[in-house]
Chains A and B, each alone.
Chain A
């Protein structure tokens, strides 16, 4: 897959895991696992990118005597997911056109 395209796609995927409720790193990897394997380094990069774009917020929560980072989606993040849904609909139209033309 084209790298830039994959990057944008991963961003939305990660955002989607915290769309309805906050989550933390390992939980997000587990949630994504049935759909896609993602390495820790990749997840870290995506989370950092999303934080810089103000699409999520981080907060540290005490858990079992250590600090765990929880991620919370922002309005920007929700907008990005909406944007993606629109893009997806457009892509689907083109995809169906290709499939129909193939017959």
Chain B
């Protein structure tokens, strides 16, 4: 499950689980995380996709269906 650790000035440290329900209330973060999961899925299954001196976002590939992954599975 995606999560962050945070701390306060009083030293208290906690962990926040980022649930789909919470993300549904935060459109920017939801968009970014879903987009990165899509890209990571494509990269992991495609030889040579990880070179960062090359084009990234591929609309044609997205039109073709791409590789969608469940939200939480990619964080296991």
Tell whether A pairs with B: no
Residues of A at the B interface (CB closer than 8 Å) are none
